[in-house]
Amino acid sequence: MAVIELTCISCPLGCPLKVETDENGAVTCVSGNTCKRGEAYGKKEVTAPTRTVTSTVRLEEGEAPVVSVRTRTDIPKEKIFAVMEEIGRASAKAPVKIGDVVVADIAGTGVDLIVTKNSPARRHQT
Amino acid sequence: MRDLAIIGGGPAGLAAAVAARDAGVEDILILEREKELGGILNQCIHNGFGLHTFHEELTGPEYAARYMDEVFQRNIPYRLSTTVVDLRREGEGLAITSVSREEGLVETQARAVILAMGCRERPRGALNIPGTRPAGIFSAGTAQRLVNLEGYLPGRRVVILGSGDIGLIMARRMTLEGAKVLCVAELQPYSGGLKRNIVQCLDDYGIPLLLSHTVVDIQGRERVEGVTIAQVDDAFRPIPGTERDYACDTLLLSVGLLPENELSKAVGVELAPVTGGPQVNESLETNIPGVFACGNVLHVHDLVDYVSEEAAQAGRNAARFLRGESGGTGRDIPLVPAGAVRYTVPGAIDPARMEAETVVRFRVGRNMRGALVTVTASGKELLRRKRPVMAPGEMEQIVLKKEWFSGAETELTVEAQEEKEGV
């Protein structure tokens, strides 16, 4: 049994939610919300919260030193730092295009890490 | 002489260029001071952009790429690494002086100009924080650029002053990169940032948000070694005895954005005191004929989707001006903010000249629940909208229809107030 306090982000109202759970972690009650979206948000945040992770990776032979990346979809919230650790080790080779996969199935989430910017290769001095 | 020059190749400049071309302007040139198009979106690598426009959550660079592709498909010319240093009236048009490493000083003449220079962060110098002047004090946007574009982490133990969205985003970004963010201090009793950012950037990582707090001292000679934070009273004066020291090597400032209007001033554009941006009519045209403004140079936005919409409107109206179709009655009706409304953009409309519909954007000065927005002309109510909640951090908009106006109106009042009980 636990009561978890959250701020709903479904709309600018930002209702303060109280989500009650039983001993198995299942949601028994959501209160404080003014609409159904608040109830759904409260349940998901307590049972299976997810986030999209965005960051950068080193860009080898790129005009720019790094290129921005994101997880293609949202991933379980508790995997954020595991994903960041793999991102820290990853790199891409220029040129890259939006949607190029940098790491497939990152940190065992089943979600790919993809490039979010078209970034050219460094022009060689001739 | 060119037809249209656009100063700035960020989200506003790109959308303005696309709309102007689609409205028939062949001869367009975009001038961009950075080495790539896209403006500030290039460093905003987080997601949440484009929900209104594309109905999906994009990152900043992805949103920019959508508009860059539109510009490339239309073969609209642009010059990069080119900084405009002067803008003035010359003969029937406008003269632009720009400078670039490759071409040196270049003079460009144009019949119309769209100002799309964006905004700048309020710097430390504008804050009067006592203490020494060591390294390690950055505006949040500078830190964002260092981390996301240049690949440097500017510090390891961080305090953030101001809870603007960039500060909140950087609290998360620095945390993900391994820095320890000790707290975010906010002078106001509420945050100006989006709720979503407070939850996903601070709450997710257990970073405290100290409302009604500010930095009262900075320590360190060469590098920041610590800051002192104190609670403030209703008049924002630090309360003695509430000081607390934080050992840190970095202080980020996220304390507001200011439209960047040096060029506007140079050409004689009148600025509005509340927004710091040009005074414009319903066509987003300034007091200088043929000079239009859009995006953050006009007033600071919170969603890029609205920047793109506004910029497209400026592009269409520049096209009408170039076709000689923009002559109105010459008598603009001023929009007067009332109640909690702080300002409106545009600040005046000419019903004879306006498109079938004109969007009016505005902000309120306080948090409100159960608010009512009304537009009245000489005592006659033209529009009435209920808003469950309004906040200073969220830009609002209403739509005015050309058919509502007879042309005899002398003044339009845009008002927001709490709805009265039982009405």
User: What pLDDT, on the 0 to 100 scale, is given for residue A125?
Assistant: 58
CB-CB contact of B149 with B38 (8 Å): no
Residue of B36, B43, B386, B396 to mutate when probing chain A, most A C-beta within 10 A? B36
Which residues have C-beta within 8 Å of that of residue B262, sequence separation ≥ 6?
Answer: none
CB-CB contact of B169 with B201 (8 Å): yes
Does residue A70 belong to the interface with chain B, where contact is any CB pair within 8 Å? yes
Question: Which tokens in the block code for residue B18?
Answer: 């696309």
Does residue B51 belong to the interface with chain A, where contact is any CB pair within 8 Å? no
User: What pLDDT, on the 0 to 100 scale, is given for residue A27?
Assistant: 93
Q: Tokens 């209702």 sit at which residue?
A: A15
CB-CB contact of B288 with B153 (8 Å): no
Residue of A68, A75, A123 to mutate when probing chain B, most B C-beta within 10 A? A68
**B237 DSSP assignment:** P
Cis peptide bond prior to B278, omega within 30° of 0: no
φ, ψ for residue B65 (rounded to 5)? -60, -35
Which residues have C-beta within 8 Å of that of residue B363, sequence separation ≥ 6?
Answer: B341, B342, B343, B392, B394, B395, B396
φ, ψ for residue B396 (rounded to 5)? -110, 160
CB-CB contact of B119 with B164 (8 Å): no
Number of H helices, E strands in chain A: 2, 10
Does residue B204 belong to the interface with chain A, where contact is any CB pair within 8 Å? yes
Name the stretches of chain A with pLDDT < 50.
Answer: none
ipTM above 0.95, yes or no: no
Tens digit of each residue's pLDDT, chain B (423 residues) = 999 999 999 999 999 999 999 999 999 999 999 999 999 999 999 998 998 889 888 999 999 999 999 999 999 999 999 999 999 999 999 999 999 999 999 999 999 999 999 999 988 777 778 888 899 999 999 999 999 999 999 999 999 999 999 999 999 999 999 999 999 999 999 888 888 899 999 999 999 999 999 999 999 999 999 999 999 999 999 999 999 999 999 999 999 999 999 999 999 999 999 999 999 999 999 999 999 999 999 999 989 999 999 999 999 999 999 999 876 666 789 999 999 999 999 999 998 888 899 999 999 998 888 999 999 998 889 999 999 888 888 899 999 999 998 878 889 999 999 987 544
Dihedral sign computed on CA atoms, order B63, B65, B67, B69: negative
The whole-angstrom separation of Cα B96 and Cα A49 is: 52
Q: Which whole-number Å values give the CA distances from A6 to B85, B191, B406, in the listed order?
A: 49, 17, 50
Q: Can you spell out the DSSP letters for B168-191?
A: HHHHHHHHHTT-EEEEEEESSSS-
Task: Report the alpha-carbon angle A48-A54-A55, nearest 5.
Answer: 135
Kindly report the number of other CB atoms within 10 A of residue A116's CB atom. Answer: 27
Q: Kindly provide the residue ranges of all beta strands, DSSP E only, lying in B116-249, ordered along the sequence.
A: 119-121, 137-139, 157-161, 180-186, 209-211, 213-219, 226-231, 244-247
Closest CA to A96 of B218, B62, B254: B62
CB-CB contact of A69 with A114 (8 Å): yes
> Rounded to a whole number, what is the distance in Å from the CA of B51 to chain A's nearest CA?
13
CB-CB contact of B302 with B393 (8 Å): yes
Q: CB distance B176–A55 less than 8 Å?
A: yes
Question: Which tokens in the block code for residue B351?
Answer: 């019903």
> Rounded to a whole number, what is the distance in Å from the CA of B336 to chain A's nearest CA?
26
